[in-house]
Amino acid sequence: MRSAVGGVHSTSVTNDMATPPMPVRRPIALWDEVPMSWATVAELGTALGTLVLAFATFASVRSGNRAARLSERSLLENIRPLLLPSRLQDPEQKVGFQDDHWMHLQGGHGAADVTDEAVYLSIGVRNVGPGLAVLNAWKFYPGRHGNDADMPDIDDFRHLTRDLYVPSNDIGFWQGAFRDSEDPDFAAVAETIDEREAFTVDILYGDAEGGQRTVTRFAMIPAGKKGDNWLAAVSRHWNLDRADPRMR
C-alpha cells in the first residue's frame, strides 16, 4: 500500500501471516549418540556382579579369619597350664634325684639339702590350669625377688636333666641341683640354705605342644627355725609367647 503525506511517499508493508512455530527437537538420548550392543551390556553386568562378589568375599574372609582366631584362642586356653604351690592339705610327695638322694615334700612347701657334693632343691606345685604342664628350666636367686617387674632372661636358666610333668588340677614337683663345686653359684646357694635364708626360684614351663611358655616365680620362706622345709609362695607369672596382661 502506498500513501502520500506532505508530498513524501512512504511505503508500509503489513504481514498478515503469523510466524510459523519452531520445530520441537526431541532430547538426545545416550543410546542415540553412543552405539550400544547387547555384548557391551552383558560385560557391564558381569563387571558389576564381580565387584559385588568381591566385596562379599572380602567380608566372608574377614569373618572367617576372626572365627579362626577365636577358635585357636579357645583351643590354646583349653591346654594352657598354670603353676601354683601345692596346698597345705595336699599329700606328702617323695622326690628322688639321679644319685639316689631323696627328699620329702609336705603340701605347700619346698625342701633344700646341702652336702659336700651337691645342693638339692625341690618345690611342691599344683597345676591349676586346664592343660598339662611340662617343666624344663629354672633359675635360683638368693633372697626374695617378688617385686621385680621385668621378665627374667631365659637364656640364663638352667635346663632340667629330665622333663617334669604336672597334670591338670593335680600336684607334682619341681627339682633342681647344683653339683659342680666350682660353679660360682654353688657357694652362694649353699650358704643361703645353711643360714636358713629365703630364696627365689623362677620355673620355666609350657604346654604339651611346647608352646604357651610361662615363667612362674616362687618365693621360698623358711618354715620354722629348724628343719629343711621352706614355705612356698608365688609372686609373679610371665607369658613368653603372648602379650603380658599387665601391659594392657
What is the mean predicted confidence (pLDDT) over 133-155?
88
Cβ contact 49:181 at 8 Å: no
Residue whose C-alpha cell is 532430547:
27
Check pLDDT > 80 for residue 56. no
Check pLDDT > 90 for residue 234. yes
What band does 9 get if pLDDT is binned at 50, 70 and 90? Answer: very low
pTM score: 0.71
Of residues 194 and 8, more confidence is placed in: 194
C-alpha distances in angstroms, 129 versus 46, 216, 227?
55, 13, 32
Residue whose C-alpha cell is 591346654:
79
pLDDT of residue 49: 77
What is the mean predicted confidence (pLDDT) over 34-39?
63
Please tell me what DSSP assigns to residue 37.
-
pLDDT of residue 4: 42
Question: Quick one: cell of 125?
Answer: 606345685
Question: Quick one: cell of 196?
Answer: 636358713
Question: Quick one: cell of 52?
Answer: 559385588
pLDDT of residue 14: 47
Check pLDDT > 60 for residue 54. yes
pLDDT of residue 63: 63
Cβ contact 237:125 at 8 Å: no
Of residues 78 and 52, more confidence is placed in: 78
What is the mean predicted confidence (pLDDT) over 44-50?
78
Residues paired with residue 75 on neighbouring β-strands, in sequence order: none
Of residues 35 and 129, more confidence is placed in: 129
